[in-house]
Chain A
Amino acid sequence: MDIINSLFTSLFGISVVFAVLASLILLIYGQTLVMKKMHPAKAADPAETKMAPSPAATAPVAAPAPAYPGKLELIGTDEKTAAMIMAIVCDESGIPANELIFKSIREIA
């Protein structure tokens, strides 16, 4: 096998990897669609219903500050404290961090 053939093999090889993984992407999207149709309420936001915030996190949930997806708003709280609160909520509730949504953390005292 000469170098040109090796290059073609490489091109084909990376294409196969992309093709297999791209087909998995389609299947995951398909699976998600099916799940949403089967359990619309459940698929919408199971984490929020599961979330059992600690007293420290209760206040912002009761009186939510303006928040938008993907951003955690810190009101009167430094990042270190916020990270600690999030870790405590995860630990106490037994819910993995990737399944919890924190919208804002506000200092109440």
Chain B
Amino acid sequence: MLIDTLGKLWGDSGFAALDVRHSIMIVVALVLIYLAIVKKFEPLLLLPIAFGMLLANLPITGLMDGPADGSPGGLLYYLYQGVKLGIYPSLIFLGIGAMTDFGPLIARPSSLLLGAAAQFGIYVAFTVARMLGFTVQEAASIGIIGGADGPTAIFLTTRLAPELLPAIAIAAYSYMALIPLIQPPIMRALTTEKERQTVMSQLRPVTKTEKIVFPIIVTIVSVLLLPSVAPLIGMLMLGNLFRESGVVDRISQTAQNELINIVTIFLGVTVGATANADRFLQLETLKIIALGLFAFIFSTIGGTLIGKLMYVVTGGKVNPLIGSAGVSAVPMAARVSQVEGQRANPKNYLLMHAMGPNVAGVIGSAVAAGFLLAMFG
């Protein structure tokens, strides 16, 4: 009797159902947890993603199963609907908008060109992915990794190639964490010492009215030009209007703290939970990770080259190092510009100048995603 009971318990347990593929995925999840906690690789998202991956690969939990045969469905299945329907990325953009100061961008509008140029990698990776045999939808989803914007990548991928979501999300966030390693060699290779030493003039002050009008104008123009960007740009600018209007401080604080934190948990855990062995342990995953790096590199190249062009056009008034900040990893890419600028000239303070292209990159990657969605959605 006791033996039978123990046998049944064992048979019903996850251990009996655990196979090699599950075990590999659990190891991958543990490695990601290590990277998030010990190496601090984008821990705010990588940690929930990795734990979601761990949960989803523990067998027989049914966490991601939909309702069937009288069973109500798993917890993560319901939370995942926010990803599937594109709700979480848009809400995260609301929080980002509430946290973002567009002042440096308004003070130097030409920063937007750098934000546009740094989307170059998206299209290079798209073309290369097509050459490697990915479908247009898959190639577009892979390319968007080059935008260095996690929510945008997730938003586009759930619409175009949901089967690639775990690989793309993990690649996007991993490379964002590695920006301080990826960008500097490219920036140094493409610029001269003299260019890197350029000290930029202080930005003009931006009035409160300008900051209030900005999100309204951007929303109207961007959404009219490219309606598919409405969920991302609309939410980003709504969050920013909350911040700049100064009349809804409570809402602004909620958007940039509680709301974005709650949504980040749901988004991370459920995106990680989509990484089951069948989807993840494929050659395609390695290709996506390689293409993601490729996209990041070319985005950095695009931004830096336009930065160099602006250096020439302005007669040496723009430091080309701020161009690489056009990839939208805020504020890490701007910090890299600051560090590299100071390395060349200790009196160089590029951070505020780099924040312009950096926030322009957020708009740029959303526009790029809107274009790809309009083309292939």
Interface-lining segment among B8-16, B38-46, B116-124, B185-193:
B116-124
Residues of chain A within 8 A (CB-CB) of B375 are 9, 13
Tell me the A residues contacting B by CB distance below 8 Å: 1, 3, 6-7, 9-11, 13-14, 16-25, 27-29, 31-32, 35, 39, 42-43, 45-47, 69-71, 79, 96-99, 101
Q: Decide: A25 and B112 in contact? CB cutoff 8 A.
A: yes
**Total interface residues in chain B, CB < 8 Å:** 54
Binding site secondary structure of chain B: helix
**Residues of chain B in range 166-221 having any CB-CB distance to chain A below 8 Å:** 199-203, 205-207, 209-210, 213-214, 217-218, 221
Q: Does B332 reach chain A (CB closer than 8 Å)? A: no
Given contacts A35-B209, A70-B199, A79-B347, contact A25 B371 (CB under 8 A): no
Tell me the B residues contacting A by CB distance below 8 Å: 101, 103-107, 109-110, 112-113, 115-117, 119-120, 122-124, 126-127, 130-131, 136, 139, 199-203, 205-207, 209-210, 213-214, 217-218, 221-222, 225-226, 346-347, 352, 355, 360, 363-364, 367-368, 371-372, 375
**Can you show 9 pairs from A to B with CB atoms below 8 A apart?**
A13-B122, A13-B368, A24-B112, A28-B106, A35-B207, A69-B201, A98-B104, A98-B107, A98-B355
Q: Decide: B136 and A31 in contact? CB cutoff 8 A.
A: no
Question: Which of A10, A16, A29, A45 interacts with B126 by CB under 8 Å?
Answer: A10
Interface centre among B109, B200, B203, B209 (most CB of A within 10 A): B109
B102 to chain A minimum Cβ distance, whole angstroms, is 9
Question: Which of A1, A20, A31 interacts with B217 by CB under 8 Å?
Answer: A31
Given contacts A7-B127, A25-B110, contact A98 B352 (CB under 8 A): yes
Closest 5 CB pairs of A and B: A70-B201, A10-B123, A47-B205, A28-B109, A6-B130
